[in-house]
Amino acid sequence: MTISLRGSRRTQTIWPRRVAVLSVHTSPLEQPGTGDAGGMNVYITHTAVEMARRGVAVEVFTRATSSEQPPVAELAPGVLVRHIPAGPFEPLGRDELPAQLCAFTSGVLRAEAFHEPGYYDLIHSHYWLSGQVGWLARDRWGVPLVHTAHTLAKVKNAALAEGDKPEPRTRVIGEEQVVAESDRLVANTPVEARQLVDLYGAAPERVHTVAPGVDLNRFVPGSQAGARRRLGLPRDAVVLAFAGRIQPLKAPDVLLHAAAHLLQRQPELRERLVVLVVGGPSGTGLEQPQALRELAVSLGIQEVVRFLPPQPGERLAEVYRAADVVAVPSYNESFGLVALEAQACGTPVVAAEVGGLPVAVAHGVSGLLVPSHAARDWAGALASVALRPDRRAELAENALVHARRFSWARTTDALLETYAAASRTLAALHEEIAV
Going by the annotation, the residues of the binding site are 25, 31-32, 36-41, 94, 127, 151, 171, 245, 250, 311, 320-321, 323, 333, 341, 347
DSSP 171-235: HHHHHHHHHHH-SEEEESSHHHHHHHHHHH---GGGEEE------TTTS----HHHHHHHHT--T
Q: What angle do helix axes 375-386 and 252-265 make, rounded to 10 degrees?
A: 70
Q: What is the pLDDT of residues 169-178, one digit of tens each?
A: 999 999 999 9
Binding residues for Mg(2+): 320-321, 323, 347
Q: Which CATH superfamily is domain 224-403 in?
A: Glycogen Phosphorylase B; (3.40.50.2000)
Q: Does residue 242 contact residue 255 with C-beta atoms inside 8 Å?
A: yes
Q: Helices 224-231 and 313-322 sit at what angle, rounded to 10 degrees? A: 120
- Output the known binding site for UDP-N-acetyl-alpha-D-glucosamine: 31-32, 39, 245, 250, 311, 333, 341
CB atoms within 10 A of CB 51: 25
Residues found in the chain: 435
Superfamily of domain 11-213+408-434 in CATH is Glycogen Phosphorylase B; (3.40.50.2000)
Cβ–Cβ under 8 Å, residues 15 and 420:
yes
What span, in angstroms and rounded, lies between the C-alpha atoms of 58 and 268? 55
Q: Annotated binding residues for 1D-myo-inositol 3-phosphate, as ranges?
A: 25, 36-41, 94, 127, 151, 171
- Among the listed residues 298, 325, 295, 283, the one whose alpha carbon sits nearest the alpha carbon of residue 26: 283
Q: How far apart are the first and last CA of the chain?
A: 22
Distances (CA, A) of 233 to 323, 342, 348: 10, 18, 19
pLDDT of amino acid 7: 37
**Which residues are CB-contacts of 48 (< 8 A; sequence separation ≥ 6)?**
21, 28, 58, 60, 75, 76, 79
Ranges in the chain annotated CATH 3.40.50.2000:
11-213+408-434, 224-403
pLDDT at 13: 63
Bridge partners (DSSP) listed for residue 363: 367
Identify the H or E element spanning 74: strand 72-76
Q: What is the pLDDT of residue 33?
A: 61
* 46-63 tens-digit pLDDT: 999 999 999 999 999 999
User: Residue ranges of the chain with pLDDT lower than 70?
Assistant: 1-13, 32-37, 282-289, 430-432, 434-435
Interstrand relation of 238-243 and 349-352 (parallel, antiparallel or unpaired): unpaired
Angle between helices 169-181 and 127-141 (to 10 degrees): 40
